[in-house]
Structure 1
Amino acid sequence: MEFLVLITAAFGAGVLNSVAGGGTFLTFPALVFTGMPPVTASATSTVAVFPGYMGGALGFRQELAGFDRGRLLRLAGITLMGGLVGSGLLLVSSNEAFSFVVPFLLLGATLAFMFGDQVRQWAAARARDVSPEGALGLFAVALYGGYFNGGLGIILLALFSLWGMVDLDRMNALKSGLSFLLSAISVAVFAAAGLVAWPQAIVMMLAATAGGYAGASLARALPKPAVRGVIATVGFGMSAVFFWRLVGPG
């Protein structure tokens, strides 16, 4: 029954990530639901959705090739450093401390997803007031992504808007490439630390990959508001559950 829950959640996460993002809202709570400690669940969830980032990066390889190589290397280096620090923070976090932070992270990620378009527009309107490609901003976003993956794509797109980028295809390409690197360093750190529950992770990786393939067709058929509504419902629901776990008895 536990593996059925995990397979269903991972398949749904693959579909969501293909359609609009937000797969972490399913994989992380499902792992916690099966009794896995929150820190291990977060690490295993990162591994579970990793193939999707790889597929996204490969899918945008033509757009990525259009970026200056030196620029890409600099951004990749900052992302890897931030992801390494964020992953390290998760390693030293107790389950109690992480459980306290998780509801706020889930709620923040859900709000970022719901109002992603408005956030990007707000960021684009203020791009002229921000120094282009500030290393500190990308480092902070990568640190967050290494610690907790939820809503990472929306936050990266908003950051790119602040840099003055306007071509959504190039923005999505850069988002996919940096997300892949960030997830790769996180997976390496979590695996080396023995924090990944591999039987669950492998099953979920396969299910998420299948869901991602199925999601490609759904992405063309489903209206965007409906997809956003489903993800927002899941995100707010999971946030409420984790807030209840935080303040409820036991």
Structure 2
Amino acid sequence: MTLIDIFLLALAGCAAGGMNALAGGGTFFSFPALLATGLPPVTANATNAVALWPASIASAWAARASLRPLGRYLLPLLLAGLLGGLGGGLLLLVGGDTVFRVLIPWLLLAATALFAASPWLARALAARRREAAQPPHTPLSLAAHAGVSVYGGYFGAGMGILQLAAFSIEGHPLARANALKNLISAVIYSVASLTFILAGRVSWAELLVLLAGATAGGYAGGALGEHLPPRLLRALVLLVGSGMTLYYFHATYFAA
């Protein structure tokens, strides 16, 4: 890494950590920065996933009180997250850089669209939600959770929005849906990260710089959270996400 690469990753990590603490969407900063340092696409995505791993575990641990009463109800969800996250991680490794490079703009487009639609989606779900103590698992609901988990293991940006929507549609109260989202995200990131580490696709030097920046950014974001307008933060994430999507569509399909 050059000094410019170190500065870029530290800045991107700081922005990603801050945005995740404030409004979400940190991947739009960290993943392109890893690509910009010259990492292959799969290695960049694997490194980004491992960088998000500690935060996902911390979030799940913080929500443990809401999840403890669910007991065995969690087992099918954990299994869907485990198998889906493993499947997504393996798909990324098997497909390799060539396939993933072609999919990058489409994945960024999907994540940007999900982030843009999240307020509308939350309002729509709140209007139709019928809360239940423990909504029954069905083959369709478990298949939906497994599909989201595959996406999370493969790329991950916007995964939390999909999970929150799935749990809310099932009838979970918002607080429990968020706790479940945190738990399953931790499972997905854990199994995918271990898969990437064992496959040797993580670039540790870049990871350490990114983690340092994300830690500082997360602390600063938490401190500033009550002073910055949420609409401004969302607009910034959407601007970056849209810009990255357009750039990678051009670079992938139109650049000479």
- Whether TM exceeds 0.5 here: the answer is yes
CA distance in 2, matches of 1:8, 1:14: 10
Structure 1 window deviating more from structure 2 (6-15 vs 113-122): it is 113-122
1:111 to 102, 105, 113: 113
Q: State the TM-score, normalizing by the size of structure 2.
A: 0.90
Is 1:12 paired with 2:15?
A: yes
Paired residues, what number? 246
CA distance in structure 2 between the aligned counterparts of 1:222 and 1:82, rounded to whole angstroms:
36
* Match among 211, 214, 217 for residue 205 of structure 1: 211
Instruction: Give the aligned CA root-mean-square deviation in angstroms.
Output: 1.7
Greater CA drift, 214-223 or 36-45? 214-223
1:30 deviates by 0.3
Cα separation, 1, equivalents of 2:71 and 2:122: 25
Q: Contact between 1:14 and 1:210, CA under 8 Å: does it hold in 2?
A: yes
SS at match of 1:93: helix
The answer on 1:158 being equivalent to 2:161 is: no
CA–CA separation in structure 1 for the residues paired with 2:118 and 2:176? 17
Could you give the per-residue CA deviations for residues 137-166 of structure 1, whole angstroms, max 9, x where no partner exists? Answer: 00000000000011111111111121112x
Alignment of 1:1-250 (within 5 A): 1-66=4-69, 68-123=70-125, 132-133=136-137, 134-165=141-172, 167-250=173-256
Distance in 2 separating the partners of 1:61 and 1:82: 22
Cα distance, 1:203 vs. partner?
Answer: 2.0
The answer to whether the 8 Å contact 2:80/2:145 transfers is yes
- Flag structure 2 segments of 5+ consecutive residues without an equivalent: none
Distance 1:234 1:132, change over 3 A: farther
Distance 2:225 2:60 in 1: 18
Unpaired runs of at least 5, structure 1: none
Q: Is the 8 A contact 2:18 2:220 kept in 1?
A: yes
Structure 1's consecutive aligned runs of 4 or more residues displaced over 3 angstroms after TM superposition are 120-128
Cα deviation 1:151-183 (Å, max 9, x = unaligned): 111111111121112x32222211111111110
Deviation by residue 1:190-241 (Cα, 9 ceiling, x = unmatched): 0000000011112212221222122112222222211110110111011011
Deviation larger for 55-64 or 2-11:
55-64
Name the stretch that deviates more: 181-190 or 45-54.
Answer: 45-54
Identity within the alignment, %? 40
Q: SS state of the match for residue 72, structure 1?
A: helix
- Secondary structure class of the residue paired with 1:117: helix
Amino acid at match of 2:245: S
Q: CA deviation at 1:127?
A: 5.9
Q: Give the TM-score, by structure 1 length.
A: 0.93
Stretch of structure 1 that moved more, 216-225 or 20-29: 216-225
Deviation of 1:71 (Å): 1.2
CA contact (8 A) 2:76 2:142 kept: no
CA apart distance, 1:75: 0.9
Q: Which amino acid aligns with 2:167?
A: F
